[in-house]
Structure 1
Amino acid sequence: MLRRKRLPFTRFSDVAGIAIAAGYAVGRTGCWAIGDDYGRPWSSRWAVQFPEGAPPSTAAVMARAFGTPLAPGTSPETVLAAYPTQLYEVVLGLLTFLALWRRRDHDHAEGWLFGLYLVLAGLERFLIEFLRAKDDRFLPLGLSSAQGVALALTLGGVLWMAARWRTGARRPGIHVAVAGDPLGAAHTSDGRRIAGRLYVP
């Protein structure tokens, strides 16, 4: 589709990063609804039980599936309260979306915004994994496989942002306003009107 529309990947990725961040936040509401991807046991008043979760947050599941140590005498059928990490990710996903949206008019080369998305998304996942109930913490320092991927995304995003930092690869005329346009819209160099500062033909 990109080739057919003659749309450069870098330009498309800037728009896609914003959309992916919003979609991720919405998607995590589904995890909350079905009781999936919750966190480790937590004794706070803000903790949440998932008796009908997928799987339920019982002591047996926490011990068997996630290797969570339990207090002596804990019944396997006891429903444990846990960190509502799904809601944390909804909030962090929305904050990522808002941060990207506010930076959509950046003055760097096309694709820079997608690099910022990779950095923010990677950091979000890396941090939230410390609270998640997981069974794949086999990386050094007890990190999970998802944290390994998150670190790779963050590093890749930093390198990509550096590569797209004010390289002069912006589309010519994308910031030029046409005199007499009542909306003060920006136009491309060949006169086509664009909505906002992100140009999508």
Structure 2
Amino acid sequence: MRPVLLSLGPVSIYSWGFLLALGTLLGGWGAVSLARRSGWEQPEDLLDVGVGAVLAGVLGSRLNYLLLYKPQEFLRRPGIFFQFSDGGLVFYGGLLAGIVAGGWLARRRNLRFWDTGDILVPFLAAGYGLVRIGCFLNGCCYGRVSQVPWAVVMPQLGDNLPRHPVQLYAAVMGMLLGWLLFRLYQRRLFSGAVFLIGIAGGAVERFIEDFFRDTLMYTSTLTVAQVVSAGLFLVALILYFWRKEYLIKQQLKEGKLSNDPTRN
């Protein structure tokens, strides 16, 4: 593993943080470029929303981890919140915080929530894939013990046991999901469709990932995250069909919807 990507004198550049920053920058650039091609009036506003959502997601996932796994220690030493070197993050805490912060920032920029989510979610999914490579280099979020030929040993665990490189599985799935969502966005589906498909796809990704991950179990066969993933998938599916039906009724009631997909 390589938690420190590069050391320049007293300054250390950490792999996880570097890939998070790289994913945020590339994702922001991609979203703004796509918005320009799609005719958005002020595509630069997306950069503020996207970066804010990512930062809120990191903080939310860290808080969720500490409340779930280390509540007593967190109460005694609140400063551990900023010790990201232990890799303590929980995906769904970050997802919730990111959606709330992104929605709030979009509203402040007079951007429609659903359309903003549609254009950002492909790049967020691909960025998630990059961050998972950072998790692999950091040695966190490791997999279950396995004898597959490509199993790896996590030195920081000190047990010398081969494990699934589940971080790399997640990286591939995240990038594939990002590519799929990007292609769906180009098909001009109804407002909110790509965003909700992205949420459902993220739930499926995490459900699959946890079959190979060494993590907290909810039952003898399912992890806590898998139970949450199943619930989130159902919610996203229900919202997808509700949103589609709602827009059809609006079209029938009002005629044609606004031609400007980006502003209220």
- Determine if the TM-score, normalized by the shorter chain, exceeds 0.5: yes
CA distance in 2, matches of 1:50, 1:171: 54
Verify: 1:20 aligned to 2:124, yes or no.
yes
What does residue 71 of structure 1 align with? none
Larger Rg: 1
What does residue 146 of structure 2 align with? 42
What does residue 133 of structure 1 align with? 214
What does residue 114 of structure 1 align with? 195
Verify: 1:144 aligned to 2:248, yes or no.
no
CA distance in 1, matches of 2:108, 2:142: 42
Verify: 1:97 aligned to 2:178, yes or no.
yes
What does residue 194 of structure 1 align with? none
Bigger RCO of structures 1 and 2 (CA < 8 A, at least 6 apart): 1
Verify: 1:85 aligned to 2:166, yes or no.
yes
1:172 CA displacement: 3.0
Name the TM-score, length of structure 1 as normaliser: 0.68
Instruction: Give structure 1 stretches of 5+ with no counterpart.
Output: 59-78, 174-187, 189-198
Question: CA-atom RMSD, angstroms?
Answer: 2.0
Instruction: Give structure 2 stretches of 5+ with no counterpart.
Output: 1-104, 251-255
Contact preservation (8 Å) 1:49, 1:81: yes
CA distance in 2, matches of 1:89, 1:50: 17
Name the TM-score, length of structure 2 as normaliser: 0.53
Q: Percent identity?
A: 29
Q: What pairs up with 1:119-198 in 2 under 5 angstroms?
A: 119-134=200-215, 136-139=216-219, 142-165=221-244, 167-168=247-248, 172-173=258-259, 188=260
CA distance in 1, matches of 2:192, 2:176: 20
1:103 CA displacement: 0.3
Cα 1:114–1:25 shift into 2, 3 Å? same
What does residue 61 of structure 1 align with? none
Cα-to-partner distance string for 1:138-191 (whole Å, 9 max, x where unaligned) = 23x531111111112211111121123363468533xxxxxxxxxxxxxx4xxx
What does residue 12 of structure 2 align with? none
1:107 CA displacement: 4.0
What does residue 76 of structure 1 align with? none
Q: Secondary structure at the match of 1:2?
A: helix
Q: Which amino acid aligns with 1:3?
A: R
CA distance in 2, matches of 1:115, 1:36: 29
User: Aligned pair count?
Assistant: 152
